[in-house]
Amino acid sequence: MPSRYLFHFAQAHDEFRLPELASVAELHGISYSLPQEPENRDPKRPYMVIDLEREDHARTLARRCILIKAVYEFYGQGSTYEELHEANRKSETLWTRYIDDTSFRFLVTAYQHKIPQSRQRDVIESFSYMGFLGKIEMKNPDITLTVFEEYEDRHGTTRVKHEGDGSFRQLFFGRLLEEGSARPLIGKFDVKKRSYYGNTSMEAEISLLMTNQTLASPGKFIYDPFMGTGSMGYPYSFQPTAYFGALVFGSDIDGRQMRGKQKTPGVIRAATQYGLASRIIDLATFDITHNPWRCGELFDAIVTDPPYGVRAGAKRLGRKKELSEEKKALTLQHSLKAQEDDQPYIPPTKPYELSHLATDLVLFARYLLKPNGRLVFFLPTVTDEYEEIDIHTMLCEGMEVIANSLQDFGSWGRRMSALTQAELQIMGAVFTHSLLSSSAIQNAAYAFLARIIPIFSSPMYPATTSSVSAFVKNGTRAIV
């Protein structure tokens, strides 16, 4: 029978809480149930009671989720102390085992309020019926019992100290099981403490949230196609506390961002600072629309923060204006002649439209991800104009949205979208990553490939009818 646990969330990134919880639960095979009442599962509230099968599941979530401050064995809740005490008495079987010889401490705390010391003592004394006989230890007790008073969010308002004391929204009571040990990683990976970073480096907390969305774990292979200064790579490789431990491969169209100005690449220097250099498999310089990948299903996850023009715009190979035939001929003629002072060729680049980038990235991920792999990336949105359908316009068949969380900056924001591969249905046939055999599935493959080949030229797609035929006849795994 499931037990109930009280989760205390950090008051940051509300929309990321439940998607992170769902991803970590999936990673560890944990089943859970959220409250049925909408007001009790509101992600903006700091406390939530969740049903779990086992106590160690609650501990696992607290150790991995970045936005969990602590998890408690739940004893009761109410809108008044009378209701709370009544609920606590009904949970007597949970706390009577600690009465005789267990050292303990009792805390009373509040959200959006500071409780006077005198009333804290009154609250603690009101629980005297529990009859604990153990020693009171304020530093290292065997158990910690905590009462939480939740007040309405009054952020930004001016009020007298202790004003509104006792006018709380809800009360919660429970025994501390596990403090959130993942939150200190935010300080460990603080951008300002790194030996190498840039002005567009992703903040540590968001990088860690993206890490959990990818289901990163030891042995998994994760790719960042817009590596930049490497902010996404370090949390995945963090092995010493067994949180993540994945292997990372990075690429970028501009290798200077990854290298920096010193002999040792900047990304490697920063990874060495964390003791993770051995987990950065390699770095490469190329444009994802002209990529070198010749086989798919390489990576367990793709995670990236593509440049979207707020500070640095995206670029792709190509000229802003095509050369005339005459200039093309002169350029070719000149390139065939050896030059004594010949400099390395730097290919021209042109702006990369955000809509094209998003679509190409999804198609790119659909090819490179292993079955059930995940793509996690950020895209900017205008808050007033955004509609949920916008995220679906960039999808290709076979990719499914599992999270779409907003980091709000006021008039605009950016959304962390998490996509996963799903079974692909075309003309009644179901495409998975099993071998193609029946003629019906082959015909469906022809029809689908004929639609996606013209989207953009890339080695990831067969370029001719003959290669499509070979693709189907050989039973190659579907790249759609």
Q: What is the pLDDT of residue 338?
A: 66
* 8 Å CB contact between 478 and 433: yes
**Helix axis angle, 439-452 relative to 465-473, nearest 10°?**
150
Q: Same CATH topology for 3-179 and 200-335+344-421?
A: no
Q: What is the pLDDT of residue 171?
A: 96
**For residues 397 and 362, what is the distance between their CA atoms, to the nearest angstrom?**
10
Q: What is the pLDDT of residue 440?
A: 43
Return mean pLDDT, the chain.
Answer: 80
Local confidence band at 390 (pLDDT 50, 70, 90 cut-offs): low
**pTM for this entry:** 0.78
The two structure tokens encoding residue 224:
């960042």
Does the pLDDT at position 155 exceed 90? no
Local confidence band at 229 (pLDDT 50, 70, 90 cut-offs): confident
The CATH code belonging to domain 200-335+344-421 is 3.40.50.150
Q: What is the pLDDT of residue 388?
A: 60
Query: In sequence order, what are the residues at sequence separation of 6 or more whose Cβ sits closer than 8 angstroms to the Cβ of residue 23?
Result: 212, 213, 214, 215, 403, 418
Give 269-312 as a DSSP string: HHHHHTT-GGGEEEEEE--GGG----SS--EEEEEE----SSSS
* 8 Å CB contact between 175 and 143: yes
The domain segmentation of the chain, as residue ranges, is 3-179, 200-335+344-421, 424-473
Query: In sequence order, what are the residues at sequence separation of 6 or more whose Cβ sits closer than 8 angstroms to the Cβ of residue 163?
Result: none
**For residues 204 and 210, what is the distance between their CA atoms, to the nearest angstrom?**
10
**Per-residue pLDDT tens over the stretch 237-274:** 544 333 478 889 999 888 887 888 887 888 888 888 88
**Per-residue pLDDT tens over the stretch 410-449:** 888 888 999 998 755 443 333 343 333 344 444 544 444 4
Dihedrals phi, psi of 308, to nearest 5 degrees: -125, 20
Q: What is the pLDDT of residue 311?
A: 53
**Which class is 3-179 in CATH?**
alpha beta
